[in-house]
A = this chain, B = another copy of it.
Amino acid sequence: QSNVTIYGVADAYVGFGKHGENDLRGVNSGALSGSRLGFRGTEDLGNGLKAVFVLEQGFNIDEGTEHVEGSAYSRQAFVGLGGSFGTISLGRQYAPGYFFSYDALAAAAIGPQSVLSNGAGMSITPNNRARWNNSVAYTGSFSGLTARVIYSAKNEEVNYKRGTSTPDVYDYANPSSDDAYGVGLEYANGPLKVGGVYQIVKYSENFELDDTLNWVTENGSKKQKEWGLGASYDFGVVSFHASYQSASNLSGWKSYDADLWQVGLVVPVSTAGNVHFAYGEVEFDNPKGEKDTDVKSYTLAYTHALSKRTTAYVAWNRTDNGKGEELGLVEYRAKAGDLTPGGENSDLLGVGIRHTF
């Protein structure tokens, strides 16, 4: 038992919200930090070497359900070897984009960077798209500089039908057709934190526009490419946060691209209290040549530390969707018979508590 440390987060809030016809009033999980329970350990192997493991389950505290059904450790599951050179590990692990945290809400689910990156399908995000199965990862820290590299083999190749042959003949996808790669660098020194991430996610099922501007399935692999740059600076009376990120071929849709920027600040108003404000926008490039669509998202929050481990909070997010978009923390429901759904505001006000153990 001394080999294992149990840790976790229990974060629940009372929420009030609306998105289209969906009125939300209830108790939800994880506005500040995803609820989780983890087991981890380190063994000293001598000669500066150590073995490490992490098994971390994500769950919804409002219903007691697994965050990903059937997944015991949906957040992280890996084993590795570490030393002065860094750590090499195998399993389900975070891509560098998970650590791309340069926003005033510290990557909280209720912050614009999380809302918009998740809604856009980006992998530079504090959400599930930054957790990569079947991966080998390297992390090393040297004098304030942290380097992260990951390769994910995934194993979910989609096989596609060959032409119009009868009976059906399938070509097997190449095992590398859904691989993913990522590299990240971060420098932290006193009040300053800056970093950059580059990631490629390959999709073995792809889509492209044909001559009549209809999406058709395309054989072969399409790369979703992403990069991001961010920085935070803490002046003491206020800290500033900003990031910019760009993605192309989202989810394997050729030339369906998006850019996301966000800025924010945190103002300490008492020993325990902080006011947070963040504003972000994502712009989707429409490959059909129509007008691009924007989604704006902003969050105002007050957090109050009841202890180092426990924080009470009230937070409000509005996500203002451009034409046809349905992003936001509250699931969208269209009006009955609406032929042009989307484009409405998603609002959420949450009052809750986050307890870290």
Interface residues of A (CB under 8 A from B): 1, 3-8, 10-14, 21-29, 37, 39, 41, 43, 45-46, 49, 51, 53, 55, 57, 59-66, 69-81, 90-92, 133-136, 153-155, 162, 167, 169-172, 174-176, 306-307, 309-310, 312, 333, 336-337, 352-355, 357
Of B45, B81, B91, which is within 8 A of A64 by CB?
B91
CB distance B73 to A90 under 8 Å? Answer: no
CB distance B170 to A336 under 8 Å? Answer: yes
* A352 nearest in chain B by CB position: B90
Per DSSP, chain A at the interface is strand
CB distance B51 to A64 under 8 Å? Answer: no
Contacts A27-B134, A90-B27 given; indicate if A43 touches B309 (C-beta within 8 A).
yes
Of B61, B70, B80, B312, which is within 8 A of A69 by CB?
B70
Contacts A64-B76, A357-B3 given; indicate if A135 touches B71 (C-beta within 8 A).
no
When distances are taken between beta carbons in the complex, the residues of chain B under 8 Å from A312 are: 81
CA A51 to CA B353, docked complex, whole Å: 9
CB distance B39 to A37 under 8 Å? Answer: yes
Of B6, B91, B171, which is within 8 A of A62 by CB?
B91
Of B28, B63, B172, which is within 8 A of A333 by CB?
B172
| Beyond A8-B39, A25-B175, 15 additional pairs, beta carbon < 8 A | A1-B4, A6-B6, A12-B79, A12-B90, A23-B172, A27-B91, A27-B133, A45-B307, A51-B353, A53-B355, A60-B77, A62-B92, A63-B71, A65-B72, A79-B354
